[in-house]
Amino acid sequence: MIQQVLFIITLAVFGFFIRKRVLRIRDNIRLGKDTGGIDRKSERFKNVLLIAFGQKKMFKRFIPAVLHLFIYLGFLIINLEVLEFMIDGVAGTHRIFAPYLGSGYTVLMNLFEFLAVAVLLACIFFLIRRNVLKLPRFWSAEMTSWPRLDANLILITEIVLMLAILTMNAADQLLQLRDEHYTATGSLFFSAFLIPVFQNMETSVLILVERFAWWFHIVGILGFAVYITYSKHLHIFMAFPNTFYAKLEPKGHINNMPVVTNEVKAMLGLAQVAPPSGEPGRFGAKDVNDLSRTNLIAAYACTECGRCTSECPANLTGKKLSPRKIMMDTRDRVEEVGRSLEKGGAGLNDGKSLLGDYISKEEINACTSCNACVEACPVLINPLEIILELRRYVAMEESGSPASWNAMFQNIETNFAPWKFSAADRFNWANDV
């Protein structure tokens, strides 16, 4: 009974913190612009199934993809066991599904154990790849101490949680032999390797070990659920809405600005433009509230894998730009604004902005708009969209583009081409042909 009460209190406390963070993230995303209704829903659901559920884009790099798949399946399938933990915790039962599933329970437990071992090995491999082999994309400039620590903490936590499952099952198997009150699970292959570690223990100690591992696992999972809302690991949830809302147009398509299009049409006598009404909006984006909600969802969905940066020609040629940093900065800024609003602070009016305080003009000016980052991203994130919006702000609101660009803008406006020739002279070269 005491355990049940303790469990319900634990659930309530963690539930409170998880709910608080979920609502905060929702409100943070709502700081962005609502870009209206969602079209082509069947294509979007297909993207969710193929890219988020199916991990399709991950398989461009086979070995990490297979290991990542184990972690992902472990997350999805082992959570079924967590459901049993929850019911047992609240109802005061032990392995409540076992009598209903019979031998199917043994099969299921062995599957969970196989996945636990696979997750464990995959995490060890990823830790070695990050910290011993020092894969360059995990050590570039934006991967400061916190993102590196975050990634390591996630991997270590997953290893420890998997060890807790195996320890619990090993102790439980011994208890089944010593006490008939323990529900029979059948033989469990992987945890059986740990049995020699525990078999000389007193039954009372064994009970303690089993209970400790049970509590450790469930409290660990609940704590992890709170932690990931602050971490890059949030991508395990945010990848789904992100792939749903991702842009469906061809990669080269750049969103027009309807106000500008209308003005140009009016200038060319192609359309009647109604006189402007209300507050004039901002051209492009200076801060997170000028970006779309889709951009902000993408910032939360970024797993900081650096595949985008490792393909970015600007980054590869030593420029300051990193598309991963663009996403990390967007997320950091929206979190900063959210924290401030939560405390009743100035929020967006804190004198800071995404452009300038987080992302510099030097970074956005280095982008070639090549879309390599968009192509590389395994969860359909589009850093280029944010870069273009920031550049639009610099060009149109601050006239702050480099002088050579301004000359080109001027030429396009007057000559309809980036060069200095008038439209009439542009084909002079053909006279001598």
* Binding stretches for ligand SF4 (CB under 6 A): 302-308, 312-314, 321, 323-324, 327, 367-373, 376-377, 379, 381, 383-384, 387
Measured torsion, CA atoms of residues 293, 265, 423, 403, in degrees rounded to the nearest 10: -40
CB 106 to ligand SF4: min, Å: 39
354 contacts: CB under 8 Å, gap ≥ 6: 285, 286, 287, 288, 291, 329, 330, 333, 390
- Output the CA–CA distances (angstroms, integers) from residue 357 to 82, 385, 394, in the order listed: 43, 19, 14
CB 164 to ligand SF4: min, Å: 29
Does residue 182 contact residue 172 with C-beta atoms inside 8 Å? Answer: yes
CB 151 to ligand SF4: min, Å: 12
DSSP 383-426: HHHHHHHHHHHHHHTS--S-HHHHHHHHHHHHHSSSSSS-GGGT
CB 129 to ligand SF4: min, Å: 15
Q: Which of 153, 146, 151, 142 is nearest to 327 (CA)?
A: 142
Q: Which is nearer to ligand SF4, 362 or 413 (CB)?
A: 362
Q: Which is nearer to ligand SF4, 10 or 229 (CB)?
A: 229
How many whole angstroms separate alpha carbon 146 and alpha carbon 158? 18
Q: Which is nearer to ligand SF4, 172 or 311 (CB)?
A: 311
Q: Which of 224, 168, 158, 291 is nearest to 14 (CA)?
A: 224
Q: Which is nearer to ligand SF4, 238 or 348 (CB)?
A: 238
CB 35 to ligand SF4: min, Å: 19
Buried b (16+ CB within 10 A) or exposed e, 395-428: bbeeeebeeeeeebeebeeebeeeeeeeeeeeee
How many whole angstroms separate alpha carbon 335 and alpha carbon 32? 12
CB 254 to ligand SF4: min, Å: 11
Q: Which is nearer to ligand SF4, 284 or 306 (CB)?
A: 306
Structure tokens at 240: 């789904």
How many whole angstroms separate alpha carbon 157 and alpha carbon 74? 14
Q: Which is nearer to ligand SF4, 117 or 246 (CB)?
A: 246
CB 251 to ligand SF4: min, Å: 9
CB 57 to ligand SF4: min, Å: 9
Residue 93 backbone phi and psi in degrees, to 5? -100, 180
CB 317 to ligand SF4: min, Å: 10
Buried b (16+ CB within 10 A) or exposed e, 55-80: bebbeeeeebbebbbbbbbbeeebee
